[in-house]
Amino acid sequence: MQQIKIFKNIESEIDELEREVNSWIAESRVTIVNIFGNIAPQTPGVSPSSGLGGGAFAPSDVMLVVLYISTQKKT
């Protein structure tokens, strides 16, 4: 049976999100079917260095969805 796992973070912490997803994949012993995601539109930020590019926008929300099949056998 296919299942989903949803991960979310902000664009300025994309490296942390990548580590979290990779760690989950390694530990969960699943077969990945597909990975897709979305980044929310940027909104004006409070400080000029808020966004990933250091622009005038706040960091956007990033969402990744992992579609997988569990390979663990039930006992």
Q: What is the pLDDT of residues 20-49, one digit of tens each?
A: 999 999 999 999 999 999 999 876 655 555
Q: Is 72 exposed, middle or buried (0-12, 13-18, 19+ CB in 10 A)?
A: exposed
The three-class DSSP label of residue 44 is strand
Beta carbons within 8 Å of 20's beta carbon, 6+ residues apart = 7, 9
- The confidence score (pLDDT) of residue 75 equals 57
Distance CA 69, CA 63 (A): 20
Q: What is the pLDDT of residues 45-69, one digit of tens each?
A: 555 555 555 566 788 999 999 999 9
- The confidence score (pLDDT) of residue 68 equals 98
- The confidence score (pLDDT) of residue 57 equals 74
